[in-house]
């Protein structure tokens, strides 16, 4: 019987397959490292975007508000617009919520989520002894990403449409 030498031997095939597996494993580890770094960046961006959007909405409503309402404090802000509607911002667990109390209503309703993953929410006033007399509200917000890194942001907003009342 005559043997033909046109194909690969079993040893050559096993070596080629082994080399291919090594190359694929190296490629996979590089891909996994890249995905891990991408996820870290995504988590950081999500925490920052979450805080930015919440601060933007709160700042816009504070600037349009007529006054800071009695009952506001370091961890809760209640503002009123010129029509008499009140808006309340508070931290519930790790959720920053916004509620509305329409003029004539007895209680706040419609608690809407503004931001999640919030670790700290604090309000500071230019008149800390009587927040209802304040014209400037400073907001301090800390959010946390999935890996436990904090994103800390602070901004100040001035009430532009000050409603004149006997107490203020």
Q: What is the pLDDT of residues 28-70, one digit of tens each?
A: 999 999 999 999 999 999 999 999 999 999 999 999 988 999 8
Confidence bin at 166 (pLDDT 50/70/90)? very low
Q: What is the pLDDT of residues 106-143, one digit of tens each?
A: 999 989 999 999 999 999 999 999 998 999 999 999 99
Neighbours of 54 (CB within 10 A): 23
Query: What is the span of the domain harbouring residue 150?
Result: 45-158
> Cα(135)–Cα(130) distance, rounded to whole angstroms?
11
In a domain, 116, yes or no: yes
pTM: 0.75
In a domain, 132, yes or no: yes
In a domain, 101, yes or no: yes
In a domain, 3, yes or no: no
In a domain, 93, yes or no: yes
Quick one: pLDDT at residue 4? Answer: 65
In a domain, 61, yes or no: yes
In a domain, 34, yes or no: no
In a domain, 55, yes or no: yes
Number of structural domains, the chain? 1
Quick one: pLDDT at residue 32? Answer: 94
Percent of the chain with pLDDT over 70: 92
> Cα(165)–Cα(168) distance, rounded to whole angstroms?
5
């Amino acid at each position: 019987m005559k043997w033909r030498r046109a194909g690969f031997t079993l040893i050559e095939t096993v070596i080629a397959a082994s080399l291919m597996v090594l190359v694929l494993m190296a490629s996979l580890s590089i891909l996994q490292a890249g995905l891990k770094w991408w996820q870290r960046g995504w988590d950081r961006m999500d925490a920052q975007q979450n805080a930015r959007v919440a601060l933007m909405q709160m700042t816009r409503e504070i600037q349009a508000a007529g006054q800071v309402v009695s009952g506001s404090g370091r961890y809760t802000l209640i503002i009123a617009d010129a029509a008499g509607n009140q808006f309340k911002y508070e931290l519930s667990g790790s959720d920053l919520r916004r509620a509305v109390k329409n003029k004539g209503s007895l209680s706040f309703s419609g608690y809407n989520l503004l931001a999640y993953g919030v670790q700290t929410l604090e309000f500071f006033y230019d008149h800390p002894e009587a927040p209802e007399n304040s014209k400037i509200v400073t907001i301090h917000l800390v959010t946390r990403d999935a890996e436990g890194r904090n994103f800390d942001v602070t901004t100040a907003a001035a009430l532009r449409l000050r409603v004149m009342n006997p107490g203020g």
